[in-house]
């Protein structure tokens, strides 16, 4: 008995494109993604404006994560916005934007305070990740529970990316 002919990836995709259930699910996913993108832009609008007033012109806090090294003049605004309610995606971007060694003098103390106060493991990981970019585990051993994130402190610090 001959084995059934296997479909190529192209044939599979073409079949899915004709499947009304698949098309409906894909449209719903795309609509939800677009909705979240609009929410993020609206949520961080005041942050982007304040950064611009401070002389730091970005489209998103994620510019500091993906493209531009966070400049020192942005730190007071970023730290202030950690006290402002933001959606989780923007809060994550704020914490990740502080993960640079040159920000240690202005951000380490506040990050340590946030780590002590953070009850949620995911947020603690984000904070520990930023701390690990600017301190050794030995330097922050006084933080309760920081040893749970010891692996973050063992990696080679990321290289400073040049401004584009």
* pLDDT tens column, 62-120: 999 988 899 999 999 999 999 999 999 999 999 999 999 999 999 999 999 999 999 89
Tell me whether residue 119 is in a domain: yes
Q: Say whether pLDDT at 34 is over 90.
A: no
- Residues 115, 135: contact at Cβ < 8 Å? no
Tell me whether residue 136 is in a domain: yes
Q: Say whether pLDDT at 163 is over 60.
A: no
Domains identified in the chain, total number: 1
Tell me whether residue 17 is in a domain: no
* pLDDT tens column, 108-153: 999 999 999 998 999 999 999 999 999 999 999 999 999 999 999 9
Tell me whether residue 145 is in a domain: yes
Higher-confidence residue of 2 and 18: namely 18
Q: Convert the chain into a string of H (helix), E (strand) and C (coil).
A: CCCCCCCCHHHHHHHHHCCHHHHHHHHHHHHHHHHHHHHHHHHCHHHHHHHHHCCCCCCCCHHHHHCCCCCHHHHHHHHHHCCCCCCHHHHHHHHHHCCCHHHHHHHHHHHHHHHHHCCCHHHHHHHHHHHHCCCCCHHHCCCCCHHHHHHHHHCCCCCCCCCC
* pLDDT tens column, 43-56: 899 999 999 999 99
Tell me whether residue 58 is in a domain: yes
Tell me whether residue 28 is in a domain: no
Tell me whether residue 67 is in a domain: yes
- Residues 105, 74: contact at Cβ < 8 Å? no
Q: Which domain holds residue 76?
A: 44-154
Tell me whether residue 125 is in a domain: yes
Q: Give the predicted TM-score (pTM) of the model.
A: 0.77
């Amino acid at each position: 008995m001959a084995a059934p002919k296997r479909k190529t990836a192209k044939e599979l995709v073409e079949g899915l494109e004709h499947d009304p259930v698949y098309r409906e699910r894909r449209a719903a996913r795309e609509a939800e993604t677009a909705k979240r993108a609009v929410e993020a832009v609206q949520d961080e609008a005041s942050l982007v404006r304040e950064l611009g007033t401070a002389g730091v012109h970005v489209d998103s806090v994620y510019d500091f994560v993906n493209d531009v090294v966070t400049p020192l003049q942005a730190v007071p605004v970023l730290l202030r916005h950690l006290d402002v309610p933001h959606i989780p995606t923007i809060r994550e971007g704020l914490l990740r934007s502080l993960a640079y060694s040159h920000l240690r003098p202005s951000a380490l103390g506040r990050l340590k305070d946030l780590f002590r106060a953070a009850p949620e493991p995911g947020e603690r990981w984000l904070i520990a990740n930023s701390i690990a970019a600017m301190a050794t585990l030995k330097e922050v051993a006084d933080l309760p529970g920081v040893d749970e994130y010891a692996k973050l402190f063992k990696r080679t610090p990321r290289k400073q990316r040049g401004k584009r």
